[in-house]
Amino acid sequence: MKFNFDIFGIKAKRKEREARRLAEAQAARQRYQERKRMIDDYLGEFKRNKFAKEWQKYEEGKKKADESNATCPMCHSSNVVHKVVRTKGEVHGRGSSHLFSSGWLFNHYASSCSDLQLDSSLDTLPVNKCNDCGHEWNIMKAELRESFDPFSSIHSDWVFHAIKKYIELDFDPYDKTEQHNSLEEKQDAFIKKESSCFYWDYYREMPRYVLDYVVGKALVSCTDKDKAFKFGHGDDEYSYVMPDAIFEVLKKLAKMKC
């Protein structure tokens, strides 16, 4: 007969610790998933609006191109056709030749041989042609152009390195090459220069949790993580929350109102 006594409550305490640990893990998972969903919703809406603007510009460009291709700019006739014209051609060649000769006093023999290779290319260009006045002009085409993406890896790096440069600024009053009179003056000059970059306009109106994502995305792939950013073990771009001091620097760079 086997008895299972837990006189000191060791097993009960262990189960309690495991239950508490599991509950904390589940709560952390829920917080992470909610934050990730919130960020993804923002990114999705941003990308949809971005594409809508790009498509609108494409439609406007296509309308303009269709009008240009359909009407002669010289006589305003609509009797227009497309044709292909030759613009330029090139001929390239390479080769060699050899002369052999031999002989003596009354007899002489000579021969030559050559190896010549030619290649040519001819550029063609589609154009519009007016059948009434004969005028020709280039065919206009509309292109779907992708605009600036503030969430790309390279642009996240721009934000991160700008902040990093600011917090690494120092001032040496004994350095004869120093152009400023104090650290504050040097910081103000850096902010003034850096904040004039166009890309800060895209981050100015973003909520903080999205800016956390932007900085966190750069930190994930960064091998030289500055301690000031406090990127913890197990953090990723969704869970990272920048310290208030870092956020204050970002606010200055983006010229955020609050």
In a domain, 186, yes or no: yes
pTM for this entry: 0.72
The CA distance from 28 to 34, in Å, is 10
Are residues 234 and 154 both part of a single domain? yes
The angle subtended at Cα 216 by Cα 212 and Cα 50, nearest 5°, is: 65
pLDDT at 210: 98
Report how far apart, in Å, the C-alpha atoms of 112 and of each of 13, 75, 98, 101, 108 are. 103, 61, 5, 9, 14
pLDDT at 99: 45
The CA distance from 33 to 29, in Å, is 6
pLDDT at 241: 96
Q: Which of 146, 154, 155 is nearest to 201 (CA)?
A: 155
Q: Which domain holds residue 23?
A: 7-142
Please tell me the chain's helix, strand, coil percentages from 3-state DSSP, rounded to the nearest 5. Answer: 45, 20, 35
Are residues 155 and 189 both part of a single domain? yes
Are residues 92 and 35 both part of a single domain? yes
Is there a contact between 221 and 170 (Cβ–Cβ < 8 Å)?
no
Query: Checking DSSP bridges between strand 80-103 and strand 108-130, what pairing results, if any?
Result: antiparallel
SS3 115: strand
| Residue type present at position 85 | V
Radius of gyration over alpha carbons of the chain, in Å?
A: 36
Are residues 241 and 129 both part of a single domain? no
pLDDT at 88: 53
pLDDT at 141: 92
Are residues 20 and 110 both part of a single domain? yes
The CA distance from 11 to 235, in Å, is 33
| Residue type present at position 67 | E
pLDDT at 107: 43
In a domain, 1, yes or no: no
β partners of residue 138: 127
Are residues 44 and 138 both part of a single domain? yes
How many domains does the chain contain in total? Answer: 2
Are residues 122 and 161 both part of a single domain? no
Are residues 36 and 96 both part of a single domain? yes
Consecutive sets of 10 residues in the chain, 258 residues long: mean pLDDT of each? 61 81 90 97 96 94 94 94 69 48 42 46 80 94 91 95 96 95 96 94 95 96 84 93 96 90
**End-of-domain residue from the set 142, 176, 196:** 142
Are residues 130 and 109 both part of a single domain? yes
Report how far apart, in Å, the C-alpha atoms of 226 and of each of 167, 218, 231, 234 are. 10, 12, 8, 16
The CA distance from 149 to 131, in Å, is 45
pLDDT at 123: 66
pLDDT at 61: 95
